[in-house]
Chain A
């Protein structure tokens, strides 16, 4: 394989698009894995979405019934809008905080970065169930630390759990806290790749830290910023475990996001067909979001 690839590329350089074998060799392993562990099961799932499969035994094809029912269910739209709201809140917050932290950690001026780094990293290692108990300890309505101080200072307990919007806000904060480690790692690697000479040139020109950040760091790490935004958007729209452990989609069902909706109305009631249909709709929504972001990103890059 390698030999043949090099034969092609061994000839004088051509335009990039003329290489076929080399890229094919490079992606071969992932193509095989993709076909085996994504396409194959996804096709099975897609077939289920047109049936009334319950997880056991035989099933009948029901055409587009599952999709039809899904689009007729108002709970689905509630979940969808709540999911979009969550993503809109979570992605920018996580982006800003992680980028700030990564910058401070890389800065040569800050002292004690090695200890601080562990503090920022640990939340990402915690299982959702532990994140849940930690944030309930902070924002529990009845016995939480924040309300403890609010009441000590003479205020009224804030309904962190029984008010739907505050409850969502707590999850946004908790999730940003927990996901910082991930985004921060990507940012650190990207910032370390920015050539130091750029900063030196800017320093000589008398640019302060803010100018340097906006005119050097931010443009140079743009490709990584794009990863963080796109992946965090997808992850946010699939968020489920943190909600389960923090407020169980509550109060009531007001903070049920799409995956929880799929899980509760589909899998837990043995409606695998319906759950599969909803999952593929979610996938289409995410695909649309991703493609829009890719197009916007290309426009920005080419500007």
Chain B
């Protein structure tokens, strides 16, 4: 009675509940262990039921959901759509391959050597003339087997704060045919910043892809392999990268984005930054979230090369789990790429199509968003072939059993901007990193 503990122990006496808890815990741990053995899961679907992994943020899976429901209605085949978070998706695929439980169809961010030998050949879909799929973005192996078809394409995109430009009275190019150079664009943005008292002229995604696009536009090839597979950088690349590092002076661009991971999109959305170098996927979110000022997509600069870094937004693959499911998976994918269904997908997901000859009507109410999509659909066919180099190179590396898990660009240039090393030294380290990971 003096303490809770002692009082309780007496009241319970023999056979109290409380003493059973730890014992029960230990016992059930053992039981769980035993019972759980053998509860492994089978792999793959059947002719009537498929699993389909995607990775999208809320709201952007609407297109897929619609198609899957429609497919069930038309054919009776049940496609189970599973949304996997982007962070962890490659690891999840990697481990699922080891556990022999890959899905039947997936929209993946990149190929992985561990499962690339389990892929279905999609050449009959890719080569279907009536689909008009852009051959530049297919992942093919040396025998001509098509391993993946992009679900959509993405490219770099330049956004401006139209309100600030208007206030400063600075004009912007209106069509890709009369676009500006990087020098002209930076000069214009600086002028707007000075006239309006904005904080920065530009924020630039901390992304190797965005830097590649800029280097291409300034006539370089970025880190490029020769015929023997050895990487190097050309003079134009060195010049462009030095120019880029110089722009990070806390006036034109804030250093914090490339040195310490500040969010460039949030900075631009604050309304105090003149322009933002990002990608086409921002359109949908800007249409939704920017209400305080007018924004617009403007033609990407060309100095003098009209280019960008064009990638597959996602790569559609089919896994050969068993022959029934593989046939069903291929049938489903063929149905998806039929222009009728594919147009619906592109429209409701806000994708740039990989098939040419479509005229999608995007459901955006925002005029800026409609104009942006019109611009990108005009621009992409104009881009120089270098724009697809990296996308294809990645596939080639995977087929050789290698992969560039992380591009050293971010870290090395972060150090250069922070004054820890020169731009040339950074490029040298990046080239070394490429050679070590995917060279030869």
Contact = CB atoms under 8 A, between A and B. Distances in A.
A141 B437 contact: no
Interface string B87-102: 0000000100000000
Interface string B208-244: 0000000000000000000000000000000000000
Interface string A102-140: 000000000000000000000000000000010010001
A28 B30 CA distance: 10
19 contacts: A29-B26, A32-B29, A57-B114, A161-B255, A162-B255, A162-B260, A167-B260, A245-B261, A251-B256, A252-B259, A252-B411, A252-B414, A252-B418, A252-B419, A253-B414, A253-B420, A264-B411, A268-B406, A269-B433
A270 B414 CA distance: 21
A248 B410 CA distance: 11
Contacts of B433: 269
Contact of A251 (B29, B260, B436): B260
B191 interface: no
A253 B416 CA distance: 10
B260 A142 contact: no
A246 B433 CA distance: 26
Contact of A33 (B29, B199, B405, B415): B29
Nearest to B87: A129
A270 B437 CA distance: 8
Interface string B402-437: 110110000100110111100000000000010011
Interface stretch (B45-53, B174-182, B262-270, B318-326): B262-270
Interface string A230-262: 000000000000001111101111100000000
Interface of A: 2, 28-29, 32-33, 55-57, 133, 136, 140-143, 161-162, 167, 244-248, 250-254, 264, 267-270
B44 interface: no
4 closest A-B pairs by beta carbon, nearest first, are A248-B261, A250-B260, A252-B418, A268-B406
B267 A162 contact: no
A145 to B, nearest CB: 13
Given A143-B272, A254-B418, 12 more contacts: A29-B30, A57-B401, A136-B263, A141-B262, A143-B270, A250-B259, A250-B414, A252-B417, A252-B419, A264-B411, A270-B402, A270-B437
Contacts of A161: 255-256, 259-260, 262
A142 B405 contact: no
B350 to A, nearest CB: 24
A194 B306 CA distance: 74
Contacts of B415: 252-253
Given A252-B414, A253-B414, A267 B405 contact: yes
B254 interface: yes
A248 B262 CA distance: 9
Given A29-B30, A142-B199, A248-B261, A269 B256 contact: no
B260 A248 contact: yes
Contact of B262 (A28, A142, A267, A270): A142
Interface of B: 23, 25-26, 29-30, 33, 94, 112-114, 199-200, 250, 254-256, 259-263, 266-267, 270, 272, 401-403, 405-406, 411, 414-415, 417-420, 433, 436-437
Contacts, number: 98
B113 A57 contact: yes
A136 B406 contact: no
Contacts of B272: 143
Nearest to A245: B261
A270 B26 contact: no
Contacts of A142: 199-200, 254, 256, 262, 267
Contacts of A254: 418, 420
Contacts of A133: 263
A41 to B, nearest CB: 13
Nearest to B114: A56
Nearest to B406: A268
Contacts of A29: 25-26, 29-30
A141 B253 CA distance: 13
A252 B422 CA distance: 12
A242 B258 CA distance: 18
Contacts of B266: 143
Contacts of B26: 28-29
Contacts of B200: 142
Nearest to A251: B259
B254 A141 contact: yes
Nearest to B414: A252
B255 A270 contact: no
Contacts of B401: 56-57
Nearest to A141: B256
Nearest to A162: B255
A54 to B, nearest CB: 8
A168 to B, nearest CB: 11
A270 B259 contact: no
Nearest to B436: A269
A28 B405 CA distance: 41
Contacts of B411: 252-253, 264
A230 B437 CA distance: 38
Given A161-B259, A251-B260, A253-B411, A56 B417 contact: no
A270 B260 contact: no
A161 B257 CA distance: 10
Nearest to B413: A252
A252 B420 contact: yes
Nearest to A57: B401
Contact of B113 (A32, A56, A252, A267): A56
Nearest to A252: B418
Nearest to B254: A142
A181 B204 CA distance: 37
B170 to A, nearest CB: 23
A114 to B, nearest CB: 21
A56 B33 CA distance: 29
Contacts of A268: 405-406
B22 to A, nearest CB: 9
